[in-house]
Amino acid sequence: MSAPFLQVRDLSVRFTTDDGVVRAVDGLSFDVHRGRTLGIVGESGSGKSVTSLAIMGLHRRGRRVSIDGQIRLDGEDLVTASSARVRALRGQRMAMIFQDPLSALHPQFTVGDQIVEAYRVHHRVSRAAARRRAAELLELVGIPEPSRRLDDYPHQFSGGMRQRAMIAMAVSCDPALLIADEPTTALDVTVQAQILDLMRDLQREFDTAIILITHDLGVVAELGDDVLVMYAGQVMEHGSVADVFARPEHPYTWGLLQSVTRLDEQRDDRLRTIPGAPPSLITVPPGCPFHPRCAYREQAGPATGTVRPALVEAAPGHRVACHLPAEVRQRIRAEEVTPAR
């Protein structure tokens, strides 16, 4: 396999606030190859969106934000690159789709103007040529009568159409990396599937690397090749979708999987939830950040409250950060987790 298009190594993002230092992302590493999709899952406040904004260079660097580690886009480190360089890459080599297309599109400019603008920042073409390109893009993402819809404003589009327009804008410069931050969360269930299909088609056509940020494991199962489970800004588990869904290793992943509603299976008990709430990122618990909410912390030994677990391979290409001994995890998974699903 060729070198990964995006390599993230030991990425840390810290915000200095009046209440203390927020460790939003802490020691994150992963790769994304072209034509592959990495799903990043976790609860709200686990650092998913902060990671994506860091890759895009959208955090205002300064006294309050510090970013450490490496973000290598096609070999070029974005953390140390000048902001002008990152801006030039933004929109062209890497693009982003946001959660709520109604608020992410500008209400006072037409959809066409917004796509034309995205294209013309990176290409020296006439307005007319860019407009033709915008119509092609709308057609590509499945908007009927594209040249007429160019002159519509976002509020004249339906929710699904808006997200299609957003995707058209994001792919206008054929980016090699597409970051989708909860792209289907604000949409109707029926529209969600269409948008995911569209993203899959575009990925196939343009060999795009996709980072899919979501709290919805169903979306990851649908579109992802690899999955990264984040908790409190740290990686809990990382592996292929097939491995992680078939043999989840981390108690947090178990919790996430068990809290998914499934219609294809009879269930005899109530939907399980993970007790407690994610920690404040200013006072992340010592040791394993998940241990205060972990049902198996007694079996993990005293180190779980003091020593941060290393991310180790449970199987080739499948890493987990947990103090539970491997055989204990296997037993619990066989007895409690897999039967419940």
Partner 1 sequence: MTRFVVGRLVGAVVILWLVSVLAFVLFFVVPKALGNNPAVLFAGRSPDPATIAGVTRKLGLDRSYVDQYWSFLRGVFVGRHFDSGSDRSWCPAPCLGFSFRNDQPVWSQIVDALPVTASLSLGAAVLFLTVGVSSGVLSAVRRGGLFDRIAAAVSLAGVSLPVYFTGLLLLLLVSYKWHIIDNVHYVALTANPALWAWNLLPAWIVLSLLYMANYQRLTRASMIDTLGEDYVRTARAKGLPERTVIGKHALRPALTPIVTILGLDLGVLFGGAILTERTFGFRGLGAISIDAVNTQDLPVTMGVTLFAAFFVIMANVLVDIAYAVVDPRVRPR
- Helices (H) then strands (E): counts for the chain: 13, 12
Residues near 283 by Cβ (< 8 Å), separated by ≥ 6? 20
211, 212, 216, 238, 241 from 222: Cα distances, Å: 14, 11, 10, 17, 10
By the rule CB under 8 A, 117 interacts with partner 1: yes
Phi first, then psi, for residue 269 (nearest 5°) are -125, 180
* Least distance CB 128 / partner 1 (angstroms): 20
By the rule CB under 8 A, 63 interacts with partner 1: no
Rounded to whole angstroms, the Cα distance separating 277 from 256 reads 13
By the rule CB under 8 A, 107 interacts with partner 1: yes
By the rule CB under 8 A, 295 interacts with partner 1: no
* Least distance CB 307 / partner 1 (angstroms): 38
* Least distance CB 230 / partner 1 (angstroms): 21
169 vs 196 by CB, closer to partner 1: 169
* Least distance CB 330 / partner 1 (angstroms): 43
Footprint (CB under 8 A) of partner 1, residues 29-58: 56, 58
By the rule CB under 8 A, 91 interacts with partner 1: yes
Phi first, then psi, for residue 79 (nearest 5°) are -70, -40
* Least distance CB 49 / partner 1 (angstroms): 11
Q: At what angle do helices 111-122 and 127-140 cross, to 10 degrees?
A: 110
| Total chain residues near partner 1 (CB under 8 A) | 27
- Exactly one of 37, 46, 51, 92 binds partner 1 (CB under 8 A); which one? 92
| Helix (H/G/I), strand (E/B), else coil: 7 | strand
Footprint (CB under 8 A) of partner 1, residues 153-212: 153, 155, 166, 169
CA-based nearest residue to 321, from 216, 215, 230: 230
Contact residues: partner 1, CB under 8 A: 56, 58, 87-92, 95-96, 98, 100, 103-108, 110, 117-118, 121-122, 153, 155, 166, 169
